[in-house]
Amino acid sequence: MGGDQKVCEKTNVDGSDLTLREAQASVDDWIKTIGVRYFSELTNLAQLVEEVGELARIISRTYGEQSFKESDKNSSLKDEMADILFVLICLANQTGVDLTEAFDDNLRKKTRRDGDRHRNNPKLR
């Protein structure tokens, strides 16, 4: 990486964790300064599916019955999760979705819908 390129910090100046809204702004800044431009939404969707596949490969080899191939040895669970988050944030930015608002709304929906469902599920005991 060139010396004049800036790298997004994982925490804010005050040491606090990055919020979803701040992550969206950081990705947008990175795209505009380093990434040149966003890929199309369809390309980013294909990228997202590819990254989820890479995560699935690591999980199936770490927690499932498959063994690691030599080409899998340098794979990182956290790196693949971060790749997924990055592409998801790109898609959110491109389509005007505020992930903070969307996540809050989704959690409220799940709470209303599933408030007792999981507690009453004998399979979870």
What average pLDDT does this structure show over 93-112? 97
* pLDDT tens readout for residues 4-62: 444 445 556 677 899 999 999 999 999 999 999 999 999 999 999 999 999 999 999 99
Contact 28, 97 (CB under 8 A): no
CB of 3 closer than 8 Å to CB of 83: no
Percent of the chain with pLDDT over 90: 73
Phi/psi of residue 11, nearest 5 degrees: -130, 165
DSSP H or E run through 6:
none
Number of C-alpha atoms within 13 angstroms, CB side, residue 13? 0
Q: For residue 5, what pLDDT is reported?
A: 45
Task: Judge whether residue 1 has pLDDT over 50.
Answer: no
Q: Are 27 and 91 in contact (CB under 8 A)?
A: no
Domains in the chain: boundaries: 20-115
**Cα dihedral across residues 38, 40, 41, 44: positive or negative:** negative
How much is the pTM?
Answer: 0.83
Mean pLDDT (the chain) is 90
- Class for domain 20-115, per CATH? mainly alpha
Cα–Cα distance measured from residue 117 to residue 104, given in angstroms and rounded to the nearest whole number = 20
Residue at 73: amino acid letter: K
- The CA distance from 44 to 87, in Å, is 6
